[in-house]
Amino acid sequence: MKERGGKRPGAGRKSKAEELKLIEKLSPMEDLALEKLREGLEKGDYKFVQLYFAYMYGKPKESKDITSAGDKIGTIINLGNGE
């Protein structure tokens, strides 16, 4: 029988030490990254604008518009009561 769930190798959040190592590697490139962001924003490239606002204000909440094509929701979703 195959085990399901539980701890798996590589799963979960990285350790604080690994996060700090990554920050140390990326820190020297911060000025360059900000300059490239500025250049993209000045060009009006929407991807740069989108990235800027996502980091400054967070991503907007996603919503799904689910329609029933005129059917009753109970008809679409079988509630298991024999209908």
Q: What is the pLDDT of residue 39?
A: 94
Residues 14 and 25: beta-carbon distance below 8 Å: no
pLDDT for 24: 93
Residue 80, judged by CB atoms within 10 A of its CB (0-12, 13-18, 19+), counts as exposed
Question: What pLDDT is attached to residue 3?
Answer: 64
The predicted-structure confidence for 33-74, as pLDDT tens digits, reads as follows 999 999 999 999 989 998 888 888 888 787 776 766 666 665
